[in-house]
Amino acid sequence: TNFGFQEVSSSEKTRRVTDVFHRVARRYDLMNDVMSTGIHRLWKDQFIRMMNPVGEIHLLDVAGGTGDIAFRFLEACPQGSVTICDINPGMIEQGRDRALDRGITKRLKWVCGDASALPFEDASFDFYSISFGLRNVTFRIKALEEAFRVLKPGGQFFCLEFSKVQLPGLKELYHFYSFSLIPRLGAWIAQDRDAYQYLVESISQFPDQAQLEKEVRAAGFDNVKFHNLSAGIAAIHQGIKR
Ligand code: SAM
């Protein structure tokens, strides 16, 4: 199956993304661990450290899926609260179950909604985060503008996403790993090769660090910068709404 974005219309992309996450929701956490050999956990820890949340911060975690960012944030910020917004009810269900399993019921709200048309009023949140989500959003520029809109003045934007590897040798190795091994792993573990083929293609078509930095700035943010993780396999972009 070719999931290439250029070849499909936007509504088709939205439909496919919804379908992919619906199919993999149950196996999603396990696959994350297998594919990244657990490194995604370290990246997420680093993401929270860079947020450095202190006090009564209200975070909107978009594409919050199974709660990975929200749970870490609540632990790091005892007075903070999180609204998780995800387009997929299946992912939200998984996240709710996980929250209950961990005994997390307070300071956490789940909302089903689209990153590119957020169901929130202007200037509602102190922080906005999107972790491994922006890549899946059909209208990325719109999503960045929405992030800007729902943040309060002084609010901070954080994005964790796959990016472009900066080391020559690692680049080839990573390319082989992603295009050849990941779809196979997906077939074995999640019984869904296509979903993981989509994952790999969406990563390779996502803008590089500098391009995304430009887009975040174009959405209105100031002090925009990025920080590479694992030589650029992933990157954290951040910005401030003045
Ligand atoms: N944030 C979690 C993490 O870091 O592990 C989950 C990331 S998961 C790869 C991507 C999530 O994006 C899925 O839960 C999917 O439902 C959600 N998603 C895809 N398109 C979206 C959109 N347009 N608006 C909101 N969420 C979206």
What ipTM was estimated for this complex? 0.99
Å from CA of 236 to ligand 1 middle: 16
**At 8, is the pLDDT very low, low, confident or very high (cuts 50, 70, 90)?**
low
Query: pTM for the whole thing?
Result: 0.91
**Was 208 annotated as part of a binding site?**
no
In the structure encoding, which two tokens stand for residue 129, read together?
A: 């985060």
Give CA separation, 92 vs 25, 72, 104, 142, 147, in Å: 9, 17, 14, 22, 20
**At 242, is the pLDDT very low, low, confident or very high (cuts 50, 70, 90)?**
very high
Query: Which of 97, 60, 59, 63 is CA-nearest to residue 79?
Result: 59
**Was 86 annotated as part of a binding site?**
yes
Å from CA of 113 to ligand 1 middle: 10
Local structure of 21: helix, strand or coil: helix
pLDDT above 60 (res 108): yes
The reply to whether ligand 1 has any atom less than 6 angstroms from the CB of 62 is: yes
- Of residues 170 and 26, more confidently modeled: 170
The ligand 1 atom at the shortest distance from the C-alpha of residue 116 is 23
Burial of 122 by CB count in 10 Å (0-12 exposed, 13-18 middle, 19+ buried)? exposed
- Of residues 31 and 237, more confidently modeled: 237
Predicted pLDDT of residue 148:
99
Q: Residue of the nearest CA to atom 19 in ligand 1?
A: 136
The residue to mutate among 86, 114, 135, having the most atoms of ligand 1 within 8 angstroms of its beta carbon, is 86
Contact 157, 147 (CB under 8 A): yes
The reply to whether ligand 1 has any atom less than 6 angstroms from the CB of 161 is: no
* Region 27-46 average pLDDT: 84
Q: Residue of the nearest CA to atom 11 in ligand 1?
A: 63
Q: Residue of the nearest CA to atom 7 in ligand 1?
A: 132
Q: Domain residues of the chain, as ranges?
A: 10-165+206-240
The reply to whether ligand 1 has any atom less than 6 angstroms from the CB of 99 is: no
pLDDT above 60 (res 4): no
Of all residues in the chain, what percent carry a pLDDT higher than 90?
A: 71
Local structure of 122: helix, strand or coil: coil
Of all residues in the chain, what percent carry a pLDDT higher than 70?
A: 97
Q: Which numeric CATH code is attached to 10-165+206-240?
A: 3.40.50.150
Contact 151, 222 (CB under 8 A): no
Flag the least confident range among 133-147, 154-168, 194-208, 221-235. 194-208
* Region 143-156 average pLDDT: 98
**3-state SS string for 149-171:** HHEEEEEEEEEEEECCCCCHHHH
Contact 84, 64 (CB under 8 A): yes
Burial of 55 by CB count in 10 Å (0-12 exposed, 13-18 middle, 19+ buried)? exposed
